[in-house]
């Protein structure tokens, strides 16, 4: 019975029918096999994975998945260690099912994740944001989308456009272009999304670096703590500076909120406050981070509402 159950994957009902006994008898036999050491069960946690912190972080924020990996002592203050991408690639391989639509937003961590992908069920891959610089598309979001589609064997829908445009009219005109409009049509079909999180400071937020000094000051005065896919958040997870989105090629926050699984990849102590803010927004369901950020998150202000309660904190 133990061989059938543990090695062959048969159910207790199937085993009961085979041996002509009740399923309760099967359950008792399996318990006895464990008690007598006839069967040994081992749970092996990868060396770099911190299971205790992962469980604690998932519980604090009410996340569906939280994966915390060890961060080297010398890199604790560095944002988004590259090993986060590798761990996120493994998680994505578990979350994505055949026929899903995978959405990838711009970000260094999502680019590292795509490069680390080695397995992915057949799925469609769509780009959720424009690129940091249209001239770097081959090394950034477009290539990440192509890489994921290549691994999965599915269709790719990249966006050949900058994330931030100089004005609303230019952004609207680009959204109406055939290729970009086709990608936008897939946004409502996305089942799993991967996003990055940036702190509102130079070198850590893509949007921050693309704005003028005057614009940065304006949004800072609104209390911006974090940025994700060109959406800005204050420390409580409320969206601020919504006018910026009108100039951006990006998935709308309301659409992002409707995606069943949104995985954020972000780490480092410097990003902890930004990660906390985005998690409080309810837009993210799962997180891949490191021990430096996790330790800061566990003491970051009052306990937030569960992330799986995905109502807009602004009530809008």
The whole-angstrom separation of Cα 252 and Cα 23 is 51
Are the C-beta atoms of 127 and 158 separated by less than 8 Å? yes
47: alpha, beta or left? (left if phi > 0; alpha if psi -120 to 50): alpha
For residue range 46-63, list pLDDT tens digits in order. 557 899 999 999 999 999
Q: Which run of H or of E encompasses 315? A: none
Q: What is the mean pLDDT of the chain?
A: 87
Q: What stretches of 20-136 show up as alpha helix (H) in DSSP? A: 23-35, 51-61, 83-95, 108-116
> pLDDT category, 142, cuts 50, 70, 90?
confident
pLDDT digits (tens, 9 = 90+) for 235-255: 999 999 999 989 999 999 999
Specify the CATH number for 49-299; select among 3.40.50.1360, 3.40.50.300, 3.50.50.60, 3.30.360.10.
Answer: 3.40.50.1360
Tokens matching residue 48: 């770099």
| Confidence at residue 311, expressed as pLDDT on a 0 to 100 scale | 67
Contact 224, 246 (CB under 8 A): no
Instruction: Report the alpha-carbon distance of residue 186 to residue 183 in Å, rounded.
Output: 5
d(CA 227, CA 124): 26
Would you state the structure tokens that stand for residue 130, as one six-digit string?
């424009």
Q: pLDDT tens across 96-126, in order?
A: 999 999 999 988 888 889 989 999 999 999 9
* Ranges of each domain in the chain: 1-36, 49-299
Report helix, strand or coil for 193: strand
Report the candidate in 251, 264, 260, 253 with the shortest Cα–Cα distance to residue 308: 260
Biggest CA-to-CA distance, the chain: 78
What is the sign, positive or negative, of the torsion defined by CA atoms of 90, 92, 93, 94?
A: positive
Contact assessment for residue 255 and residue 189, using Cβ atoms and an 8 Å cutoff: no
- Give DSSP secondary structure letters for 51-81: HHHHHHHHHHHT-SEEEEE---GGGTTSSS-
Q: What is the pLDDT of residue 131?
A: 84
pTM for the model stands at: 0.79
CB 29 within 8 A of CB 1: yes
Taking the C-alpha atoms of residue 163 and residue 128, their distance in angstroms, rounded to an integer, is 10
pLDDT, residue 138, reads 43
Q: What gap in Å lies between CA 108 and CA 131, rounded to an integer? A: 11
Q: Stretch 177-206: mean pLDDT, rounded?
A: 90
């Amino acid at each position: 019975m133990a061989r059938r159950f543990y090695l062959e994957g048969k159910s207790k009902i199937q085993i009961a029918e085979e041996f002509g006994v009740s399923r309760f008898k099967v359950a008792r036999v399996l318990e006895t096999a464990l008690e007598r050491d006839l069967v040994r069960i081992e749970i092996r946690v990868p060396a770099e994975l911190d299971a205790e912190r992962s469980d604690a972080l998932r519980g604090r924020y009410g996340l569906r998945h939280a994966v915390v990996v060890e961060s080297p002592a010398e890199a604790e203050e560095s944002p988004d260690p590259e090993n986060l991408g590798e761990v996120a690639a493994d998680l994505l391989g578990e979350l994505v099912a055949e026929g899903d639509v995978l959405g990838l937003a711009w970000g260094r961590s999502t680019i590292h994740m795509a490069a680390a992908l080695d397995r992915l069920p057949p799925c469609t891959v769509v780009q959720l944001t424009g690129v940091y610089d249209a001239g770097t598309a081959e090394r950034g979001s477009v290539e990440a989308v192509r890489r994921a589609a290549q691994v999965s064997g599915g269709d790719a829908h990249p966006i050949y456009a900058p994330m931030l445009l100089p004005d609303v009219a230019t952004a609207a005109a680009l959204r109406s272009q055939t290729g970009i409009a086709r990608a936008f049509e897939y946004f409502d079909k996305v089942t799993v999304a991967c996003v990055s999180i940036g702190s509102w400071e130079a070198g850590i937020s893509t949007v921050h670096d693309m704005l003028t000094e005057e614009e940065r000051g304006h949004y800072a005065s609104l209390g911006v703590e974090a940025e994700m896919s060109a959406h800005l958040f204050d420390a409580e997870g409320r969206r601020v500076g919504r006018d910026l989105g009108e100039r951006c090629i990006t998935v709308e926050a309301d659409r992002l909120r409707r995606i069943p699984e949104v995985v954020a990849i972000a780490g480092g102590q410097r990003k902890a406050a930004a990660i906390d803010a985005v998690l409080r927004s309810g837009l993210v369901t799962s997180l891949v981070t490191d021990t430096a950020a996790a330790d800061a998150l566990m003491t970051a202000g009052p306990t937030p509402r569960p992330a799986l309660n995905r109502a807009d904190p602004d009530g809008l």
